[in-house]
Amino acid sequence: MSKQILILAGDGIGPEIVTAAEKVLTAVNHKFNLNLDWEHGLLGGAAIDQYGEPYPKETSDQAKKADAILLGAVGGPKWDQIERSIRPERGLLKIRSELNLFANLRPAILYPQLASASSLKPEIVAGLDILIVRELTGGIYFGQPRGIRELENGEKQGYNTDVYSESEIKRIAKVAFDLASLRGGKVCSVDKANVLEVTELWKQTVSQEHAENYSNIQLSHMYVDNAAMQLVRAPKQFDVIVTGNLFGDILSDEAAMLTGSIGMLPSASLDENGKGMYEPCHGSAPDIAGKDIANPLATILSVAMMLRYTFKEEAAAKAIEEAVGTVLDQGLRTADIYSEGMKKVGTAAMGEAVVNAL
């Protein structure tokens, strides 16, 4: 039986970058005889336009039966004014939560060919290879109560709740430790335990899991403000960073930019059984949508992560990553990673080049 992928192109540049990635998927499926099959569905603004909600039952049914999901990006100004509970981003949070995709893996790898694209000095970022493991289905993103209420004096007050249970912390810590054992053997757990009780428990629980089951891993703890600073001061001190939903959201954008362009970075969001949703770390970039200038490489590299983590097709995953290396060696650059002397190409042409390199 073939394995099923659900493709959700989403909004903004989503459809363009996903089209490019789909061509790569077709090529790799054929070349490695992967027996993958896929269909398309709607998420975010595209789903709101069609069904009036960002994660409709139709998409949910498709998502539940798929083995893996490839997502473009969601959101845009067109839907900014609609009621908060049905905005595009809520669709993304809902699918993460419904499918229990609690482990978000966000690698920040500097391609040597792009060293000059980083805003940091080459010696600070050369060879950078960090993996951020972000908890994705808990914390302040989902904690109750939440909302905007009116106080007695008529003033409005916004409120959210940051909450983590021991089991939630433990399972994400395990993911981080397991992944660290396959790479540099170091985990840095990021918290704000000097102020927030929820992260005090985070720190304790990570330490406990480490002591009980992962003494082979080198564990350190860091406050989030310091981590933000260390990431630009000396990013190579990190191997795996594990943190909660909100801190992970922020630090992963920061880590991404160390590599020169967020347009290069893929991500995986996994459940306990390896089912996953794969998406670029960047957003829907509505300002450049439809212009054939967006960088499809993060989405293409997300396909590689899908092959590696859900389908256990390491050779095919590597082939995509090497093909991306080849097109960079050829000097092909989309606008976001362009530098003088290189050859500027559009979204579709970049996708084609990866297919040819494959």
352 annotated ligand binder: no
Residue choice 6, 7, 92, 354 for contact with ligand IPM (CB under 6 A)? 92
Residue choice 32, 86, 89, 186 for contact with ligand IPM (CB under 6 A)? 89
Residue 136: phi, psi to the nearest 5?
-120, -10
13 annotated ligand binder: no
Q: Is 170 a catalytic residue?
A: no
Nearer to ligand IPM, 118 or 245 (CB): 245
Nearer to ligand IPM, 15 or 75 (CB): 75
Ramachandran category for residue 37: left, alpha or beta (phi over 0 → left; psi -120 to 50 → alpha): beta
Looking at 129, 178, 253, 271, which residue is catalytic? 253
CA–CA gap between residue 281 and residue 131 (Å, rounded): 13
CB of 249 to ligand IPM, least distance (A): 4
Interaction partner, residue 292 (Mg ion, ligand IPM, none; CB < 5-8 Å by kind): none
Residue 268 is encoded by which pair of tokens? 């995986």
Amino acid at 345: V
Cα–Cα separations (whole angstroms), residue 151 to 140, 159, 161, 341: 22, 12, 18, 60
Q: Is 141 a catalytic residue?
A: yes
Q: Is 225 a catalytic residue?
A: yes
CB of 87 to ligand IPM, least distance (A): 9
Q: Do the bridges between strand 332-333 and strand 343-344 make them parallel or antiparallel, or are there none, so unpaired?
A: parallel
Interaction partner, residue 89 (ligand IPM, Mg ion, none; CB < 5-8 Å by kind): ligand IPM
Coil, helix or strand for 283? coil
329 annotated ligand binder: no
122 annotated ligand binder: no
Q: Is 239 a catalytic residue?
A: no
CB of 263 to ligand IPM, least distance (A): 14
Q: Which residues bind Mg ion (CB under 5 A)?
A: 249
CA–CA gap between residue 28 and residue 358 (Å, rounded): 7
CB of 102 to ligand IPM, least distance (A): 13
Residue 311: phi, psi to the nearest 5?
-95, -5
16 annotated ligand binder: no
171-175: long-range contacts, CB 8 A cutoff, minimum separation 24: 171/102, 171/103, 171/272, 172/102, 172/103, 172/133, 172/135, 172/242, 173/205, 173/206, 173/209, 173/210, 173/242, 174/209, 174/213, 175/103, 175/133, 175/242, 175/270
CB of 249 to Mg ion, least distance (A): 4
Nearer to ligand IPM, 92 or 176 (CB): 92
Strand partners, 269: 104, 277
Ramachandran category for residue 179: left, alpha or beta (phi over 0 → left; psi -120 to 50 → alpha): alpha
Nearer to ligand IPM, 43 or 358 (CB): 43
Amino acid at 127: G
Residue choice 11, 249, 313, 336 for contact with ligand IPM (CB under 6 A)? 249
Interaction partner, residue 321 (Mg ion, ligand IPM, none; CB < 5-8 Å by kind): none
Please report the sign of the dihedral spanned by the C-alpha atoms of residue 328, residue 314, residue 69, residue 96.
negative
291 annotated ligand binder: yes
Nearer to Mg ion, 56 or 138 (CB): 138
Query: Mind telling me the catalytic residues?
Result: 141, 192, 225, 249, 253
Which residues are documented as binding site?
76-89, 96, 106, 134, 225, 249, 253, 283-295
**Residues near ligand IPM (CB under 6 A):** 75, 89, 92, 249
